[in-house]
Chain A
Amino acid sequence: MLDYTNAEVVLETRDLTKHYGGVHALEGANFKIHKGEHVAIMGDNGAGKSTFVRQITAVEQRTRGDIILNGQPTQFDSPIEAREAGIETVFQNLALADDLDVPSNLFLGREKVKFKLGPFSILDNKAMREATMAGLVKTGVKIPNILNSIQNMSGGQRQCVAIARTAAFHSKLTIMDEPTAALGVQETAQVENIIRTLKEQQEPVILISHNMRQVFDLMDRIVVFRRGRICANLTIDGSIKPEDVVAYITGAKTGEEFPEAM
């Protein structure tokens, strides 16, 4: 197993906290991910996993804490700024526009243009189509016609479009929130292949998943959330077993036995 402790830190959070009124959804999260590293985030429903992602990607503004990207403290005001800084995200509720076709969804918010004219810039549809084809072929997804609106596509195809969106753009960090939760066996395999491809390309990934097999197959490390706090940080090597992870998720075990390995 590779040791990432000495690799360059891509993203770090310090004391990252989010309160929704009285709900302490995320409390003092200290987290690190290194170049090329694939980290799983696990935890019960409502443990604060998606909340954690929403703070990093600036979908919401944090209550307090620091987010450090490539050594620079950041303060993104909007998801687009996070994305421009290189954080690509597949959200749990797919952020896709149903009535648009695949290229439009892939390039939503960052369309290629032929001719700049402010909001009336002329779209470069051909370039977007070609880039879409190239990006999707890599993922092994099957789509009969990328120019159909995506509302009639299967869940797996839609998910692959959402993921291809992140894979098609060279990013510093890819975050996926339960990308295979609604998928069949074959589609899940496809998504896992994309994650493997990212691994080969040395691109760091944060994967939120409830699927133990998937996490053990694909990831280097597991960070467990419980009631808004990070309660364990487990490097996946021979010594760690799925039962241990479950124990942390349910609270049967606490983090003391595994001091932070960051």
Chain B
Amino acid sequence: MSQSSHGIGGLTFDEKKKARAPEWNVFFALLLIVGIFEGLGALLMGQSLLFDSADRFDSIFNEARLKIIILQVAIIGIIALGSTQVIILGGIDLSPGSIVGVTAMIAMSFAQVAEISAGVVNPKLMWAGISDLPVIVPIVIGLAVGIAAGAINGLLIAYTRIPPFIATLGMMVFARGAAKWWSKGQPISFPTDSYAALGAGMMPVFIFIALAILFHLILKYTVYGKHTYAIGSNEQASRMSGIKVEHHKVLVYTIAGALAALAAIVLSSKNLTAQAGMGVMYELDAIAMTVIGGVSLSGGRGSILGTVLGSLIFGVIISGFTFLKLDAYYQEMVKGIIIVGAVVLDQYRQKRNASRM
């Protein structure tokens, strides 16, 4: 038995038998789901989901499919990084999907070109004089929209004490309305090349990974992270310990809003257009990734790493269904089952912990 360096009072603690980090369970779930799809693939299609089955590529993996899997979760993944922090804080955020809609519209309207090609005017140009602006303009304006929406969420929740569910539901409806109002329902298209580059190719994935690493470090190594976990774990205790709970809540919801705005910029750039309906249901997918990734809906527990793994599970399921040529209905039904399953598992874990006290 190896003696721990962190125990006191003569109690021994076996470092090797330490409880497994919960992220491992999510990782095993990911492997299990990949395994299931590989099995079904071999059985039904005679093909592999992730591996290069017929020596068609230079590597052991089917890179094209891997890319698709990661690419399709990257943008919602960016939102999920915010949802993770909000849920660890003990809250919930239903507004990011709509914030994506309104931010995409507003940012794109400052990213348009005047002429699609020489002499051909942009048919969707919103304002005659406003076109071909430097890329920083739509980025800053877009971020400002997300930050404002997130800050309003946070202020409502922290200072009027309305439940996060209600405050962000209001924002969800409001922001969607604003997205439609901005261009009277018209799509906004034809961005500048520099704006179009933001979400081109694998850029969404790079941005997602960079942000995931950034927020992983922030949650783990900064006072901000510590206080987010503390408030989610015991808000009253945090307040008595002198944490400025209200300030902190505003900050967390604001960051979630900013992340939704980033997702909107990347998404509208990738699609080369913005529509008022962009991002519908993204908040629920983001919450699903978070919950599947082991973040507890009752707050105080979870991690960015878990959410990243959760987003991969999400991506594998979607790709797996397409790969098996199963209808999209099944996809959504299974998604629903998995979300509920993840929450049930979390409840069970909590009960088990509580009964040990």
Number of contacting residues on B, CB 8 A?
A: 39
A99 and B233 CA atoms in complex are apart in Å by: 6
Query: Which of A78, A97, A140 is the one whose CB lies under 8 Å from B237?
Result: A97
Asked if A123 CB lies within 8 Å of chain B CBs, one says yes
Q: Is there contact, CB below 8 Å, between B239 and A151? A: no
A129 and B8 CA atoms in complex are apart in Å by: 12
* Chain A proximity mask over B229-259: 1 for CB below 8 Å, otherwise 0: 1101110111111110000100100000000
Asked if B226 CB lies within 8 Å of chain A CBs, one says yes
A238 and B353 CA atoms in complex are apart in Å by: 49
A148 and B13 CA atoms in complex are apart in Å by: 11
* Chain B proximity mask over A123-154: 1 for CB below 8 Å, otherwise 0: 10100010001001100111111111001100
A95-B300 in contact given A145-B6, A145-B13, A146-B7 (Cβ < 8 Å): no
Asked if B181 CB lies within 8 Å of chain A CBs, one says no
Query: Which of B6, B10, B222 is the one whose CB lies under 8 Å from A123?
Result: B222
Asked if B4 CB lies within 8 Å of chain A CBs, one says yes
Asked if B218 CB lies within 8 Å of chain A CBs, one says yes
- Contacting residues, chain B, for A133 (C-beta < 8 A): 6, 8
Q: Is there contact, CB below 8 Å, between B233 and A98? A: yes
Q: Is there contact, CB below 8 Å, between A109 and B243? A: yes
Asked if A21 CB lies within 8 Å of chain B CBs, one says no
Q: Is there contact, CB below 8 Å, between A79 and B239? A: yes
Query: Which of A97, A104, A143 is the one whose CB lies under 8 Å from B11?
Result: A143
A252 and B127 CA atoms in complex are apart in Å by: 86
Asked if A68 CB lies within 8 Å of chain B CBs, one says no
Asked if B329 CB lies within 8 Å of chain A CBs, one says no
Q: Is there contact, CB below 8 Å, between A95 and B240? A: yes
Instruction: Name which residue of chain A comes closest to B247, CB basis.
Output: A119
Q: Is there contact, CB below 8 Å, between A136 and B226? A: no
Q: Is there contact, CB below 8 Å, between A111 and B240? A: no
A91 and B9 CA atoms in complex are apart in Å by: 25
Chain A contact residues, majority secondary structure: loop
Q: Is there contact, CB below 8 Å, between B9 and A95? A: no
- Contacting residues, chain A, for B13 (C-beta < 8 A): 144-145
Instruction: Name which residue of chain A comes closest to B232, CB basis.
Output: A99
- Contacting residues, chain A, for B300 (C-beta < 8 A): 97-100
Number of contacting residues on A, CB 8 A?
A: 43
A96 and B222 CA atoms in complex are apart in Å by: 19
Asked if A20 CB lies within 8 Å of chain B CBs, one says no
- Contacting residues, chain A, for B248 (C-beta < 8 A): 119
A108-B239 in contact given A119-B248, A152-B353 (Cβ < 8 Å): no
Asked if B194 CB lies within 8 Å of chain A CBs, one says no
CB interface residues, B 286-342, toward A, < 8 Å: 300-301
A78 and B241 CA atoms in complex are apart in Å by: 10
Asked if A218 CB lies within 8 Å of chain B CBs, one says no
A95 and B11 CA atoms in complex are apart in Å by: 25
Asked if A9 CB lies within 8 Å of chain B CBs, one says no
Instruction: Name which residue of chain B comes closest to A91, CB basis.
Output: B240
- Contacting residues, chain B, for A113 (C-beta < 8 A): 223
A104 and B221 CA atoms in complex are apart in Å by: 12
A100 and B225 CA atoms in complex are apart in Å by: 12
Q: Is there contact, CB below 8 Å, between A142 and B11? A: yes
A143-B7 in contact given A96-B237, A99-B301 (Cβ < 8 Å): yes
- Contacting residues, chain A, for B233 (C-beta < 8 A): 97-100
Asked if B224 CB lies within 8 Å of chain A CBs, one says yes
Asked if B271 CB lies within 8 Å of chain A CBs, one says no
A120-B218 in contact given A143-B8, A151-B353 (Cβ < 8 Å): yes
Instruction: Name which residue of chain A comes closest to B15, CB basis.
Output: A145
Q: Is there contact, CB below 8 Å, between A144 and B4? A: yes
A93 and B235 CA atoms in complex are apart in Å by: 13
Can you list 19 contacts pairing A with B, beta carbon distance less than 8 Å? A59-B240, A79-B239, A80-B241, A91-B240, A93-B236, A95-B237, A99-B233, A100-B233, A104-B226, A104-B229, A111-B223, A119-B248, A121-B223, A137-B8, A142-B10, A144-B7, A144-B11, A144-B12, A151-B357
Contacts A95-B234, A123-B221, A145-B4 aside, 6 further interface pairs with beta carbons under 8 A come to: A59-B240, A108-B230, A119-B224, A141-B9, A142-B10, A144-B13
Q: Give me the interface of B with A, judged by CB distance under 8 Å.
A: 4, 6-13, 18-19, 218, 221-227, 229-230, 232-234, 236-243, 248, 251, 300-301, 353, 356-357
Q: Give me the interface of A with B, judged by CB distance under 8 Å.
A: 59, 78-80, 83-84, 91, 93-100, 104, 108-111, 113, 117, 119-123, 125, 129, 133, 136-137, 140-148, 151-152
